[in-house]
Each structure stands twice: as C-alpha cells, then as structure tokens.
A and B are shown apart, each in its own frame.
Chain A
Amino acid sequence: MMETRSIMIVGVGGQGTLLASRVIGSVLLTGGYDVKVSEVHGMSQRGGSVVTYVRYGDKVASPIIEKGQADLIISFELLEAARWVSYLKKGGKIITNTQQIEPMPVITGAVKYPENIVENIKAAGVDITAADALSLAVEAGTPKAVNVVLMGMVSKTVSFDEQVWLDALKQCVPPKVLDVNLKAFELGRGIA
C-alpha cells in the first residue's frame, strides 16, 4: 500500500489558496488517488494566515497535516513559508512566492518583518525554490493569477501529464479569465 502523501498550501486570506487546492485536488483525483482536502473558511480569510491541507494515497483517513509530516509546502507569501516550515517532513520541499505582505503587528511597528527567510530555510537543510510569482502574474496579465503561477511551478514537482493540469485549471477557473491563467501557468512551469 502506498503511504499517504501530504501537501500544504499556505498564504494570506484573499490570495486564492482555495482555488489552488481545488486544482491540485482535481489533478490527484484524475490520477486515481483517494484524496482529502481540508480548507479554512470564515474569519481567517479576512487577511489572516490561512492553510489548506491536501492528502492523497490509496486510502486517506485524516484530512489534516501536522508538524513534521508535509512532503511539499506551497507558500503564497514569504513569511508564511517561515511560519509553516516546521510542518515539513525531513527531505520535504518548499515552493514559495517571494512576495511580502506585512501582517498587522509589522504594520503597527510592534515587530519587524523577518529578513533572509529563504537563506534561513536553506541553512536548515531544506530544499526550497523561491520565485517572484507576483511579477510573473502581472506579466501574465493580472496580479490575481499568483496562485496559478505557483500551480505551474508545482506541476513540475507533483508530476502528472501537463494536460491533466490544464484540464483541472479549465474546470476550476471561470472561462472569462482562462487565457490569462493559462499564460500564468506556463510562466510558473518555466521556472521550476
């Protein structure tokens, strides 16, 4: 029996992490796995730290992921990568956007936004890929496509046929904005 694998999607409420988890969920289901996705709705979606768990394998019981268990963390924001790195399992991987969104304690001046996050994570022996997904999304046509740029990056790690990803995107993205999103996906896929 295949061991259940765990992917975490972390970010800031409003960044579109839910859409990403749905695309990944759909890709994995097409891949023939049992899948569970645990989402966060409600209060924290108002600009708080948000996390979505995706677990897949032959048969998945728990929908949640705990410290030391994630095979892959996809972080939509740099500080969130630092916050959740303890959830990574030994040998796990992080894909992170380098975009910085200041949380309220930083905005009010109570604390500073930490520096050298990518370096610190690397120094801890973690495999991390960092890219400016926001700029690529803007290049694709809208800053809102950050999530899809990251999906493009992930598509190289969680490898399935590219077509499976494209089909999942088509299922989850409104037709009006599909073209922009396909472009964002390709730009992301080009990095990893």
Chain B
Amino acid sequence: MSKLMLGNMAVARGLYEAGVDVVSSYPGTPSTEITEFAAKYDEMHTEWAPNEKVACEAAIGASIAGTRAFCGMKHVGLNVAADPLFTVSYSGVNGGLVIGVADDPGMHSSQNEQDSRHYAIAAKVPLVEPADSAECLLYTKAAFELSEKFDTPVILRLTTRIAHSQSVVSESERIPHETGEYVKNSEKYVMMPANARPRHAAVEKRTEALREYAENCPFNRVEMGGTKIGIITSGIAYQYAKEAFGDEASYLKLGLINPLPEKLIKDFAAKVDKLYVVEELDDIIETHCRKIGLSPVGKELFTYIGEYSPVYLREKILGEKAEYTEYPENVPVRPPVMCAGCPHRGLFYILHKLGVTVSGDIGCYTLGAAAPLSAMDTTICMGASVSGLHGFNVARKGEFEGKAVAVIGDSTFIHSGITGLINIAYNASNSTVIVLDNSITGMTGHQNNPANGYNIKGDPASAVDIEAVCRAVGIDRVRVVDPNDLKATEEAVKEELAAKAPSVIITRRPCALLKSVKHKPSAVVDSDKCRSCKACMKIGCPAISMSTGKAKIDNTLCVGCGVCGGLCKFDAIKEGV
C-alpha cells in the first residue's frame, strides 16, 4: 500500500522490513523520528542510549552477536560515536551494522553544519545517501546487505530535507534476519596492534572491492536528457537539480557516496558539454572528480554554506532570477522562545539578575541566551558547559569561581556532563554546576532519558539518581531547588557561589509541555493596579505583553506557573480561577 511517510519513518520501516533486531540511538534533530518510529514495532528491541558512543557500541555488540543492528544520530552525534566507528571499520561485522546519521545543512536545529561524508572517507566505510522517502526505505534495506556482503559497517546519510519531508512509499513484509552463529574470533574482534595490522590491510582490500562495486551499484544511475548541462549530484541536491532543469540537463545521480566510481563518472562526463557537481556543504564528489582527472564546475560557483534550492541552481547556472513582491514594511523577526511556563525561565531570570558568567550547553535552555534573559556566555557542544567552566575557572586562578556557573539539562548531563563533573572534583576547581532537571529531553521533542524513570516505550525504567551521582564523584555540596521559586533559587545560587567548595544545584521541575503536568488557569492582570513598570517583562514570557500600555496576559498561552506574579510589586498579577 502507498503511504506518505517522512524520510525518517521510511528508514524505520526499512529497519523493520530488513529484519533488524536491535536499534540503539540518541536523539538529535533531524534524526530523532527514525528511532521513535522504530520503537512502534515490537519485533525490534529499540532503546534510547545515554549518548551516541554508547548507542553505537551497543549496536556493534548486537552485530557481533549475529543480529542486524542499527544506531541513529544527528551529524554532531557522529563526533561522539567516532571512536567506535573508526575501529569497527577494521573489525567488520557479523550481523549487518548500519549507522544512520542526519546532517543539517542550513542549521535549522544545530550548532554547526559539518558534513558527515568526511567520516565515511576517514573511517573507510561505505556511505549511502537516499533522495526521497522511497529511497530511504530501499537504501536502508540495501545497506544491511552491503554491510554483510563486504563485512563492514555502513553509514546511511540523510539531510534535514530528506529526513523531514514526506513522500510516497510502498511497504512490504518484514523478512526476519536469521541470527548468525557467534564464534569467538579474537583476530577479527580484538583490535590490539597485532590483530589490527592485518585488519587494516583487509580494510584496504575491501575498499578496492567496493570501488569496483560502485561502478555497477544500482544506486548510481544515469538519466540522460539535454547534453549541454551534465550534473553529478546526490540526495536532496538531486531533487533540486531535477526541479530546476528537468529534461534540459543530464544527471548522474549517486546513491553510494563512498567509495565513488571512476569509470561511471568519466563516461558520464564524456557525454555532456559542461559538467557540474551539485552537492550541498563540502566538495566531496567534486574532489573525487578532480582526483580522477576531471575539471567540473563545483564550489567555484556553488556555496559551501547552507542549503541549495532549484531557484538558486538556475540563478547560478543560467543567471535567471526569481520574481516576487515583498511585503511593503519591515516584518519583525520571530525567533524561538522558551515556552510559557517553562521551568528554565526562573533560573535564567536569577542568573541574569545576579550578572553571573554562564557556561552554557545545548537544549531548550540555550534559549536563555536570547533577550531579555541574555544569560549565557558560551555554548559549544553537549557537556562543554561543565568541563569548560572548570577550564575557565582554573585559567582565571579562581577569580571567577564566585561569579560563574555552568548550566546543563538532565539529558545532556547524562550524555556527557558527568565526566566533566568528575574533572571538577578530581582537579579541584571551586566550580558551581546547575543541572536543569525538567524530567525529559525537551529540545528534540520529548524523549524519555535515563534520569526520568521511563524507557523509549514509556514503560517504567531504572532512573539515575542525579544527586547520588554528584556525591559519588566527589561533590559534597549538592542541593535541589524549584526554579519557579525565585527566592529559593536566588538564595541557592548565591550560597553555592560563595561556598569555597565545588557544588551542584539541581533545579527540578518537569517541562510544562509534559502531559503529566497539570496546568493552572491563566493568570490575570488587574489593570487598575498595574503601573506599567515592566518588571514582569523581564522574564521574557511569550504570554505577557505591554501592547496596550498595561501588562496583558494571553490566556491561550499562560499555564499559570506564577513566576510573573512574584515579580509584581503592586500585586497586579493574580492567580486565575
């Protein structure tokens, strides 16, 4: 039956149909839904791991055990999982092993726009890239065949517009994968120098074989049209090129991106007048073309930055411009904001008020960097808040110990905050770390995590005791506050900054969007009492505005958290009934 499916959903369907047994992932936009949809099939064991390295290693274990295994992540997740990736390339697999990674050109929801294809080249593993949902399903299944045939992990690379676009897919039945035999084989799986040396040789041989395979791989196809323009492309860029030039041009559409064919590309190049390589982000295909002696037009014309589009390609290649009319006035921007009732708000209000330096991290709370809270100094990658604060404090010889904090969400703390905290305790900096425990992985759309007591299916699970972890690694000062209680939060931050010992404050209150959280009626403003002092505006709540000159609360947004009421000196904001 034909269905509209997100690319991510089609990958999940592909996992199911390929007979995959084990899926272990860590959420990250735009990859998250692969694993969420996979969890709906009871035939597969599906789980959220604490981070991508753990997920990848769990999948490797499952592959060595003889089953088909998958792990999914966003592009930066592969940085975390890179260590196992580079060596499982040497050991190879038993059951098929596929690593799904979703890049984010344009940085819709990411801190950088790195190109995962470099990893495939560096780790010497095959990489396939689908161009729509039907191909997502097809390539996912094929990736397992490839993995088993060539004894290698395979990377399935998506980009945002593939992962988050729906297109038509037809489903077929699941063919269960027979669990292979597990035989101890230390030469293959114990990667110490004496064993790894011959395995490296095996990897080079494998790459040779894959290169040959690439010449006839069914996923590399030529579509001949007009021969004035010849375009080598893949993934979403193929769709943009097709939309822009239709039958005017000819295409070499590549599905296997590593390794790339030589003869196929040269043959195609010989058939067209002018050769272009159209690929978003880096010049991977172009560099290969140059290596084999061709001189296509690539990044000299097309940008390394952001997403392409059909109009962009026509403009670059044919010099055409699109026609449209703009709205006659300036339209105010609408950046994302912390939701009304977000438990992170109270803490950031206090951090802003106290003027402390904030070593930040990644999650919904990164929105605390935006005006009017403006309470964040750095954000690099998951976990860097904690480890970075330590380095900052050590470098400034204690000068900032009383006026700098790290902020990190519960999921991020589990992902990679704990090791940084160990460093604070072990190498003795007087650092203060604030764990924002909202009982969920918020930013990526509400995934359960090891600290909230539920697994991916929503069933009760063991929960990390964050307080106990902090104490166990050597932090004696550990306390919990409710971030909606501004007074207690301010006191806690002041006291822990003043203390001459490392400390952890856990601000604990569940995310206001959780179904389990009961909302109170919207707060109401007594406009006779409101003096328009704007004290309530300092928390940057999207439900409060001053457009009428007095404070006004949008009752479709307000969830009655009460934080604004605590700021009003004139008692003008009341609990609703």
Contact = CB atoms under 8 A, between A and B. Distances in A.
Interface of A: 12-14, 22, 25-26, 29, 34-49, 60-64, 66-69, 79-80, 82-83, 85-88, 90, 101-109, 111-114, 120-121, 124, 134, 143
Interface in B288-346: 309-311, 322-339
Contact of A37 (B166, B243, B322): B166
A62 B243 contact: yes
Contact of A108 (B29, B239, B329, B540): B540
Q: Which of A29, A36, A44, A113 has the most CB atoms of chain B within a 10 A radius of its CB? A: A36
State the main secondary structure of chain B at its contact with A: loop
Contact of A121 (B240, B327, B335): B327
Which 9 pairs between the two chains have the least Cβ-Cβ distance?
A42-B109, A68-B324, A42-B29, A48-B336, A62-B243, A103-B334, A61-B242, A63-B165, A61-B243
B462 interface: no
Contacts of B542: 47, 101-102, 104, 107
B327 A107 contact: no
Interface of B: 2-4, 6, 29-30, 32-33, 108-109, 132, 161, 164-168, 236, 239-240, 242-243, 309-311, 322-339, 364, 367, 370-372, 443-445, 534, 537, 540, 542, 544-547, 554, 556-557
Nearest to B29: A42
B445 A41 contact: yes
Nearest to A134: B556
Given A39-B166, A102-B545, A106-B332, 19 more contacts: A12-B334, A34-B168, A37-B4, A38-B165, A39-B164, A41-B30, A41-B32, A42-B108, A42-B445, A43-B108, A46-B367, A47-B339, A48-B337, A66-B310, A68-B322, A85-B326, A102-B542, A111-B330, A114-B330
A50 to B, nearest CB: 9
A82 B331 contact: yes
A80 B327 CA distance: 11
Contacts of A42: 29-30, 108-109, 443-445
21 contacts: A42-B30, A42-B108, A42-B109, A47-B337, A48-B337, A49-B334, A60-B167, A61-B243, A62-B310, A69-B322, A79-B331, A86-B325, A86-B327, A87-B324, A88-B324, A104-B371, A106-B545, A107-B537, A111-B330, A113-B547, A121-B327
B334 A79 contact: yes
A92 to B, nearest CB: 10
Q: Which of A83, A107, A120 has the most CB atoms of chain B within a 10 A radius of its CB? A: A107
B337 A104 contact: yes
Contacts of B236: 63
A48 B327 contact: no
Q: Which of B242, B324, B540 has the most CB atoms of chain A within a 10 A radius of its CB? A: B324
Contact of B335 (A64, A83, A90, A104): A104
B161 to A, nearest CB: 6
Given A13-B336, A105-B333, A64 B324 contact: no
Contacts of A46: 336-339, 364, 367, 443
B108 A44 contact: yes
A108 B371 contact: yes
Nearest to B371: A108
Contacts of A26: 4
B239 A63 contact: yes
Nearest to A116: B329
Q: Which of B109, B132, B331 has the most CB atoms of chain A within a 10 A radius of its CB? A: B331
Contact of A124 (B328, B337, B554): B328
Contacts of B333: 49, 103, 105
Contacts of A47: 334, 336-339, 542
Contacts of A63: 161, 165, 167, 236, 239
Contacts of B557: 101
Nearest to B8: A41
B182 to A, nearest CB: 38
A62 B445 contact: no
B96 to A, nearest CB: 28
Contacts of B165: 36-39, 63
Contacts of A60: 167
B513 to A, nearest CB: 9
Nearest to B2: A29
A164 to B, nearest CB: 14
Q: Which of A39, A62, A85 has the most CB atoms of chain B within a 10 A radius of its CB? A: A62
Given A61-B242, A63-B161, A113-B547, A82 B327 contact: yes
Nearest to B342: A46
A35 B5 CA distance: 10
B309 A35 contact: no
B218 to A, nearest CB: 20
A86 B311 CA distance: 14
Contacts of A68: 322-324
Given A39-B164, A108-B537, A114-B329, A62 B545 contact: no
A60 B240 CA distance: 11
A39 B338 CA distance: 21
Contacts of B331: 79, 82-83, 114
A109 B108 contact: no
Nearest to B6: A39
Contact of A62 (B239, B329, B339): B239
A103 B311 CA distance: 30
A3 B556 CA distance: 40
Given A86-B327, A113-B547, A103 B335 contact: yes
B332 A79 contact: yes
A188 B393 CA distance: 59
A67 B108 CA distance: 19
Given A37-B166, A41-B445, A48 B537 contact: no
Contacts of A143: 556
Contacts of A90: 323
Contacts of B334: 12, 47-49, 79-80, 83, 103-104
A112 B337 CA distance: 18
B543 to A, nearest CB: 9
Given A61-B239, A67-B324, A108-B537, A41 B329 contact: no
Contacts of B330: 111, 114
Contact of B332 (A44, A61, A114): A114
Nearest to A85: B327
B336 A67 contact: no
B46 to A, nearest CB: 19
A80 B545 CA distance: 18
Nearest to A21: B166
Q: Which of A36, A90, A104, A107 has the most CB atoms of chain B within a 10 A radius of its CB? A: A104
Contacts of A113: 332, 547
A51 B336 CA distance: 13
